[in-house]
Amino acid sequence: DVKVTQSSRYLVKRTGEKVFLECVQDMDHENMFWYRQDPGLGLRLIYFSYDVKMKEKGDIPEGYSVSREKKERFSLILESASTNQTSMYLCASSLPATNEKLFFGSGTQLSVL
Amino acid sequence: TQLLEQSPQFLSIQEGENLTVYCNSSSVFSSLQWYRQEPGEGPVLLVTVVTGGEVKKLKRLTFQFGDARKDSSLHITAAQPGDTGLYLCAGARGGADGLTFGKGTHLIIQP
């Protein structure tokens, strides 16, 4: 069964901490994405990557960075966590074609105190 | 930024009733996808519509893409409690840069 795995389901961090959210997919997909999901705001794209070591900004990249050293792994980094980054973070992957479906992980609920 | 507006935002109906959820935009999309998300899980794709005017059926769910490829609807016949969830529409931007999501419709089907 194909899978996108996010390393943590729940995470609690303090303001100012550096936070790493890890995502691994086993489908050999080229494209990987990080979204955040907030009540009333829906899913918003933070960053995406269409190849190893490649990254592109999404709609809300401020305060985040990403790393894609291997095809199967896409990491989201909060350099200095802030309370407004408390959110559900969803990782997804897909094949390169435009209309390809996204496969999502189960999400990481991050709370920044 | 291309926006997708979903309506209604919340819907609670009795088992057996029919319902329609709408997804509208002023922008043209190359395709629209519908996802369902259950609590504690990521969204799961239900269907992709590509051609203007296209209609796809998935058991009791009927999806339609508008002729101008700016809007879509999801119709559920004889809703069941298992249909409960967050329904999200998403438009393809073109290229590899992901999808634009609507804010979703929270659907509750009461037994």
pLDDT the model gives residue B95:
60
Are the beta carbons of A98 and B92 separated by less than 8 Å?
A: yes
pLDDT the model gives residue A104:
95
Tens-place pLDDT, residues A21-65? 999 999 999 999 999 999 988 999 999 999 999 999 998 999 999
A51, closest residue in chain B (CA to CA): B96
Which residue in the set A42, A98, A105 is minimally distant from B104, CB to CB?
A42
pLDDT the model gives residue B2:
61
Q: Is the pLDDT of residue A14 over 80?
A: yes
Residues of chain B with Cβ-Cβ distance to A30 below 8 Å are 96
Q: Is the pLDDT of residue A1 over 70?
A: no
Return the percentage of chain B with pLDDT > 90, whole number.
78
Residues of chain A with Cβ-Cβ distance to B40 below 8 Å are 9, 106-107
pLDDT the model gives residue B96:
57
Q: Is the pLDDT of residue B101 over 60?
A: yes
Are the beta carbons of A105 and B1 separated by less than 8 Å?
A: no
Stretch B4-14: mean pLDDT, rounded? 96
Tell me if A41 sits within 8 A of A107, measured CB to CB.
no
Tell me if B6 sits within 8 A of B89, measured CB to CB.
yes
With CA atoms as reference, report the closest residue to B33 among B67, B59, B69: B69
Strands B105-110 and B10-14: parallel
Q: Is the pLDDT of residue A95 over 90?
A: no
Cα separations in angstroms, B14 against A8, A54, A110, B80: 36, 48, 34, 8
Q: What is the mean pLDDT of chain B?
A: 92
The tokens for B59 are 């058991």
pLDDT the model gives residue B30:
85
Tell me if A103 sits within 8 A of A24, measured CB to CB.
no
Under 8 Å CB-to-CB from B69, ≥6 apart: which residues?
B28, B29, B30, B32, B52
pLDDT the model gives residue B94:
65
pLDDT the model gives residue B3:
83
Are the beta carbons of B48 and A99 separated by less than 8 Å?
A: yes
